[in-house]
Amino acid sequence: MSSETPPKRIDTWRPRAAGFAVWYLRVAAVLNLFGAVSAPFHSQVSRHNTGDYFTPYMITVGFTSGALALFLAMMMSRRKRAAWIWNTVVVALYTLIMVAYVALDPDFRAHWFNWVSTAVTVLLLVALLVGRKEFRAKGDRSNPRLALGVLFGGGAVGVAIGTVLVALTNSAPGATLGSQLRYALLRVYTLAPSSADYQDINTPHWVDIAINVMSALIFILVLYALSRSPKGKEYLCPQDERQLRGLLEQHGARDSLGYFALRRDKSVVFSPSGKAAVVYRVVGAVSLASGDPIGDVEAWPGAIDRWLEQARDHAWIPAVMGASEEGGTVYSRHGLNALELGDEAIVEVDEFTLEGRAMRGVRQAHKKVGRAGYTVRVRRHADIPEHEMDTLLQRADHWRDGQTERGFSMALGRLGDPDDGQCVMLECRDGQDELRALLSFVPWGRDGLSLDLMRRDRDSDNGLLEFMVIELIGQAEAVGIQRVSLNFAMFRAVFERGGRLGAGPVLRLWRSVLIFFSRWWQIESLYRANAKYRPIWEPRYLLFSRSSDLPRIGVASARAEGFITPPSLPSLFKRRHTSALEP
């Protein structure tokens, strides 16, 4: 006999009830938008709403009500608790009104349509109550205050604009400022004031539409403010960092991106055993993890389950950037879909050689830079004196391309921190002993390195970075390394296969699109810069839950990597400054 307790019947109905509520709002949105463009349907619904009939909840037709219903459906589909509360309260009040009319008004009871509307609304209320526990996504603690601010602040702006529009377009005589203000106030907060009460106001139809649109935007912003996900700003604390370093000490050789988990603008969730962890950052409403989980592979599922549960509790969209094939396989077992992003270039020191026709260009460039008098010094960060490190930090900051530090999944985001003493620094100097370029690598286990930072003087000779990589491989034994992870080449397979004879039209078109965008982003150039070393290509994957989330994940990834910088008050109104302590 099985000892498992069979699930309660209500437990099986909860997801169905929640799904019914979501689909009801979706259907309401479609009907409202259809009514906005279909005059016969619009007139029928309007006659029902203003006459002796009642339509079901949210069926009022129009772009405003359609947008509102669609927004509520989106929030409910993400299981937002605030959206459930809003709908349940409004539906309950609407149901009480309809039931009261059924009980007290014979004319209301005489129309069969009112009975259908009442039944549908009551069914929706029951579905909301039954599916209550499904809507558990928490909001930020500041949401109620923000929502009130938006309601009154945004409403005040809307009323002011509405009053100006009414004053400028009113063609009826005798209107006072007070009546114009009341008209705008009621239309902003109720959408439809009674025209009979305003004989002294006669405005064009477009004015009412404009005020209604502002009203809809205000209410949508209020709902958004109520249902915002927590920002997820609980970054790594010293204890978390120590625990992660312990896991990397034991299992860091598994993933070349493991050390980047120590970025201090990331958050972490550990498995129940503490033997594995998923490191992530919340960008917008996306919980963006990077690389594979840290720690023992056997404990990865426990960490992934906790990360996904946390994402569900806060209505975050789970996504993983740059997972290896092994990590992607484990993530996919937890319901995530995989999309190949590109390949990581890995050079095995023992197998690397400059001999052969394929390496002719690299060999000649290396000799040319060497003859120009350039030399490379390789040291662990811990071996660099403090005053020398300060100089390196200042030069690295001076050479940085732009004000924004780019990188998230394959960048540490700091240079010269005392806790990163095992990182490796390459300093390239010219014949006059002037510093011209820097490379910094983070540890990859005990015998590997992963490229973290590249900076060079733009006035230096071409091929300097390639010269430094070759010199690092040549001095690998001195620093005890056997493998080096270089840059990530996004969509490498497209560039490689799309240029071959016999490539299909879709692949050639995709390659052409990537080449076009390479004018602004280093997509093709990174591939070619890595390919010259004849590396081992290791695929990296993007993991996601639903295809519909990919646009938001793409924007979140671009923000995390520093390609998109959202405007903020400090950046708009304050003078920019750079720090010499952080690149």
Q: Are 254 and 240 in contact (CB under 8 A)?
A: no
User: Averaged over 17-21, what is the pLDDT?
Assistant: 90
Q: Specify the higher pLDDT residue, 405 or 22.
A: 22
**Secondary structure of residue 87 in the 3-state scheme:** helix
Give the whole-number percent of the chain exceeding pLDDT 90.
29
CA gap 164, 143 in Å, rounded: 31
| Residue 323 binned pLDDT confidence (cut-offs 50, 70, 90) | very high
Helix, strand, coil percentages for the chain (3-state, nearest 5): 55, 15, 30
Q: Which of 572, 178, 216, 563 is nearest to 404 (CA)?
A: 563
| 3-class secondary-structure state, position 439 | strand
Query: What is the phi/psi pair of residue 372, to 5°?
Result: -75, -5
Tens digits of per-residue pLDDT, 265-301?
889 999 999 999 999 998 878 999 988 999 999 999 9
| Alpha-carbon dihedral sign for residues 301, 304, 310, 313 | negative
> What are residue 375's phi and psi, to 5 degrees?
-135, 155
Highest mean pLDDT among 33-42, 222-231, 546-555 belongs to 546-555
Tell me if 140 sits within 8 A of 230, measured CB to CB. Answer: yes
The two tokens of residue 139 are 């909001």
Nearest to 277 by CA among 256, 248, 237: 248
Check whether 511 has a pLDDT greater than 90: no
Q: What is the pLDDT of residue 134?
A: 84
Judged against a pLDDT cut of 80, whether residue 305 lies above it is answered with yes
Across 492-515, average pLDDT:
69
CB-CB contact of 327 with 291 (8 Å): yes
Q: Which residue has the higher pLDDT, 148 or 436?
A: 436
| DSSP H or E run through 449 | strand 448-456
Amino acid at the residue 548? S
pLDDT (0 to 100) of residue 33: 81
> How far is residue 413's CA from residue 440's CA, in Å, rounded to a whole number?
11
d(CA 285, CA 280): 12
Which two structure tokens, joined as six digits, stand for 565?
A: 């910088």
Task: State residue 575's pLDDT score.
Answer: 38
Tell me which of 15 and 305 has the higher pLDDT: 305
- According to DSSP H, which parts of 191-284 are helical? 205-227, 238-251
pLDDT range class, residue 425, cuts 50, 70, 90: very high
Q: Return the H-helix or E-strand segment holding 450.
A: strand 448-456
Average pLDDT over residues 380-406: 83
Can you give the pLDDT at residue 46? 61
- Please, how many CA atoms are within 13 Å of residue 88, restricted to the half-sphere of its CB? 17
Q: Is the pLDDT at 569 greater than 50, yes or no?
A: no
Measured CA distances, 492 to 227, 319, 335, 454, 561 (Å):
40, 21, 26, 21, 19
Q: What is the pLDDT of residue 390?
A: 92
CA 352 to chain centre: 39
Question: CB within 8 A of 517, min separation 6: which ones?
Answer: 523
Tell me the H-state helices in 51-152.
63-77, 81-104, 106-110, 112-130, 143-149
Q: Are 378 and 467 in contact (CB under 8 A)?
A: no
pLDDT at 431: 85
What's the confidence (pLDDT) of residue 416? 85
Q: Mean pLDDT, the chain, as a whole number? A: 82
Average pLDDT of the segment spanning 534-552: 90
**In this structure, are residues 253 and 446 in contact, taking their beta carbons and an 8 Å threshold?**
yes
* pLDDT-based confidence at residue 580 (cuts at 50, 70, 90): very low
Residue 1 has pLDDT above 60, yes or no: no
pLDDT over 80 (residue 325): yes
Asked if 476 contacts 376 with a C-beta cutoff of 8 angstroms, the reply is no
pLDDT tens digits, residue range 48-68? Answer: 555 567 788 888 777 777 888
The pLDDT confidence band at residue 582, using thresholds 50, 70 and 90, is very low
**Nearest by Cα to 422 from 397, 452, 394:** 452
CA pair distance 113, 119, nearest whole angstrom: 10
| 74 φ, ψ (degrees, to nearest 5) | -65, -45
- pLDDT tens readout for residues 453-462: 888 888 887 7
443 vs 43 pLDDT, higher one? 443
What pairs with residue 92 in β-bridges?
Answer: none
Q: How far apart are CA 420 and CA 422, in angstroms?
A: 6
Span 96-108, pLDDT tens digits: 988 888 788 787 7
pLDDT of residue 579 exceeding 50, the answer is no
Q: How many Cβ atoms are within 10 Å of 284's Cβ, its own excluded?
A: 18
Q: Which residue is associated with the tokens 């009414």?
A: 166
Identify which of 319, 434, 404 has the alpha carbon closest to the alpha carbon of residue 578. Answer: 404
More confident residue, 401 or 250: 250
Predicted local distance difference test score (pLDDT) of residue 232: 60
Pairing relationship of beta strands 286-290 and 317-323 according to DSSP bridges: parallel
The pTM of the whole model exceeds 0.85: no
Q: How far apart are CA 394 and CA 256, in angstroms?
A: 28
3-state DSSP of 470-522 = HHHHHCHHHHCCCEEEEEEEECHHHHHHHCCCCCCHHHHHHHHHHHHHCCCCC
Cα angle, residue 332 at apex, residues 329 and 337 outer, rounded to 5°: 120
CA nearest neighbour of 327 among 304, 344, 347, 346: 304
**Pairwise pLDDT comparison (4 vs 440), residue with the higher score:** 440
d(CA 554, CA 377): 39
- Kindly report the length of the chain: 583
